[in-house]
């Protein structure tokens, strides 16, 4: 049984379609937009579990509903996310809280609720959908970058903790994805590089990470280069990043 959050559109909906087309996995699908989520569930044969993950109660409710509906969750794809673009000093406090809650705190809460049963069974997989912004940092998106960076470090730490349990942890780091994400955050994508990729390409990476138990997947793959360059040659990286921005 696979639980996918943020499944009402974009990457989450693409993951549902991909998993339906390539295997016999049963799906539990979470999202805030009930109408769109119902459509994705109907098309994929999944079970819709609408709800808002911005609160602790919303996360607890989803974990509880998932276990009541299916009895177990074998794979968690923590994909739900929201964005914000603008100077940090003018960011509304309520938006700051919501970006952290949805992008970082909610995945941790869901993993905390579902991981113990995976460890007891000796099998399971956690997929955290982060962002290249969490590996290199993006100007004007400081809180979003911080939240996604936190997911990456959490994945590394958790992987060490469960290394002998049979549970795998993957982190998928997309670049710019052609979804309603930018429309919803209220600011269009303006940068020249990287270019947007289809949500289906990220969904393929998510499914591949589960099938092959991959630790880290960049989409597209070349985004691994700036991420590594930032750590190995930070001065060169920052000069290149300033030009591309």
pLDDT tens for 34-55 read: 999 999 999 999 999 999 999 9
pLDDT at 139: 84
Range of the domain at 73: 2-244
Distance (Å, rounded) from C-alpha 126 to C-alpha 172?
11
**Looking at the 3D structure of the chain, how many domains does it have?**
1
Catalytic residue among 84, 144, 189, 237: 144
Look up residue 81 and give its two tokens.
Answer: 């996310």
pLDDT at residue 240 in the model? 54
Residue 197 has what pLDDT?
87
pLDDT attached to residue 11: 96
At a CB cut-off of 8 Å and minimum separation 6, what does 162 contact? 115, 119, 169
pTM above 0.85, yes or no: yes
Note the pLDDT tens digit of each residue in 27-38: 999 999 999 999
pLDDT value at position 228? 72
In the chain, what's the furthest Cα-to-Cα distance?
52
Q: Which residues of the chain have pLDDT under 70?
A: 24, 179-194, 229-245
pLDDT at 225: 82
Which residue in the block uniquely carries the two structure tokens 């794979």?
Answer: 75
29-35 CB contacts, 8 Å cutoff, 24+ apart: 29/3, 29/4, 30/3, 30/4, 30/5, 30/6, 30/62, 30/80, 31/5, 31/6, 31/7, 31/80, 32/8, 33/8, 33/9
CATH classification at residue 77: 3.40.50.720
Active site residue 144: yes
- What does the pLDDT read at residue 189? 63
Q: Which residues contact 68 (CB under 8 A, 6 or more apart)?
A: none
Nearest to 99 by CA among 71, 131, 66: 131
């Amino acid at each position: 049984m696979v639980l996918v959050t943020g499944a009402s559109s974009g990457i989450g909906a693409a993951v549902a379609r991909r998993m339906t087309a390539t295997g016999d996995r049963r799906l539990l699908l979470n999202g805030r937009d009930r109408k769109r989520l119902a459509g994705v569930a109907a098309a994929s044969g999944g079970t819709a579990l609408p709800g808002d993950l911005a609160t602790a109660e919303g996360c607890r409710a989803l974990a509880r509903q998932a276990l009541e509906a299916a009895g177990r969750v074998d794979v968690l794809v923590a994909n739900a996310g929201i964005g914000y673009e603008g100077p940090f000093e003018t960011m509304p406090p309520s938006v700051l809280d919501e970006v952290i809650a949805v992008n970082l705190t909610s995945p941790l809460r869901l993993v905390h609720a579902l991981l113990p049963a995976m460890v007891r069974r000796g099998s399971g997989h956690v997929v955290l959908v982060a962002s290249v912004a969490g590996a290199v940092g993006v100007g004007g998106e400081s809180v979003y970058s911080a939240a996604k960076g936190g997911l990456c470090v959490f994945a590394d730490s958790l992987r060490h903790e469960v290394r002998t349990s049979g549970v795998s942890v993957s982190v998928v780091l997309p670049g710019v994805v052609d979804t309603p994400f930018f429309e919803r955050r209220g600011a269009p994508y303006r940068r020249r590089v990287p270019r947007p990729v289809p949500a289906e390409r990220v969904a393929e990476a998510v499914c591949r990470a589960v099938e092959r138990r991959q630790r880290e997947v960049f989409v597209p793959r070349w985004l691994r280069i700036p991420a590594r360059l930032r750590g190995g040659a930070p001065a060169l990286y920052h000069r290149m990043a300033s030009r591309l921005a």
